[in-house]
Amino acid sequence: MVQRLAASGIQSQAVLSAMGGVERHLFVDSALVNQAYEDTSLPIGLQQTISKPSVVARMIELLEGAECARAPGGLGRVLEIGTGCGYQAAVLGRVAREVYSIERLRGLHEKARNNLRPLRLRNVHLLFGDGMQGYAQGAPYAGIIAAAGGDAVPQAWLDQLAVGGRLVAPMVRNAGQQVLLVIDKTLHGFTESVLEAVHFVPLKSGIA
Ligand code: SAH
C-alpha cells in the first residue's frame, strides 16, 4: 500500500511512514479484511465509510504544508472532524503533536474508542459531539481536517485555526460537485485553493 502511495505521488516521508505504521485491517469488519489494503473506501456501519488510503495520505500531506508546520516541532495540534472508525485519527497521531478527533454518531465514536485502545496513542483524543462547532477547548489548531463534506465552511473552523494554520476539507461547490478545499489563515486574512474532485459522506449537524 505504501509503495502504491509513493508511486501515486505522495512525497512526504512522514506521511508514508505513518501510513505504513497503522494497520488498516484493524479498522474494518472481519468480512472486509482482505480488502483492507486496497485503495478503496469501505463500509464501517451507520452508512459511513473509512476513507480511501490515497485520500487520507493526500489530505494529511496537504495539512503538513501549513505555514506553521514548517517551524521546529512540525505539525502541532490538529482537529479532525468525522472520526468514523478512527483510522485517519491514528495516522494523524503519528504526524501531529496532538490530535483531537470529533464524531457525531455515538456508535462510531465507541467503535473508534475500541479500535484505538490497543494502540495506546496518548496524543489522540476522541470526542463525541457536533464537529461543525469545532472544539474550542483545543484551539488554536495548526491543522483542521474534515472527513465529511458540507456546503459551506463553518465559521467555527475558521475561528479555531491558528494564524499559519491550514484547513483541508471536502466542500460542495459549483454544480453540486464536491471538491477538496485548502484554506490557509494568514496575518492578513484567508487564502483559498480549490483542488481535485472528491467523494465524501455528507457533513451533518447535531449528534445522533
Ligand atoms: N476519518 C474516517 C472517515 C469517517 S467517514 C476514517 O478514518 O476513515 C466521516 C465521518 O464524519 C462519519 O463517521 C460521520 O458520522 C462523521 N460526521 C459527519 N458530520 C459530522 C459532524 N458535524 N461532526 C462530527 N462528525 C461528523
* Element counts in the chain: helices (H) and strands (E): 6, 9
pLDDT in tens, 127-147: 999 999 999 999 999 999 999
Task: Check: pTM over 0.85? Answer yes or no.
Answer: yes
pLDDT (0 to 100) of residue 147: 98
Domain ranges of the chain: 2-197
> What letters, b where the CB count within 10 A reaches 16 and e where it falls short, cover 108-143?
bbebbeebbeebebeebbbbbebbbebbeebbbbbb
Ligand 1 binding residues, C-beta < 6 A: 48-51, 81-85, 87-88, 102-105, 108, 130-132, 147-148, 201, 203-205
Looking at domain 2-197, its CATH class is alpha beta
Query: Residue 199 is which amino acid?
Result: H
Rounded distance from Cα 20 to ligand 1 centre (Å) = 23
Query: Which stretch of DSSP H or E encloses residue 89?
Result: helix 87-93
Strands 178-186 and 189-197, sheet pairing: antiparallel
Residue 174's pLDDT is what?
80
Listed as ranges, residues in the chain with pLDDT below 70 are: none
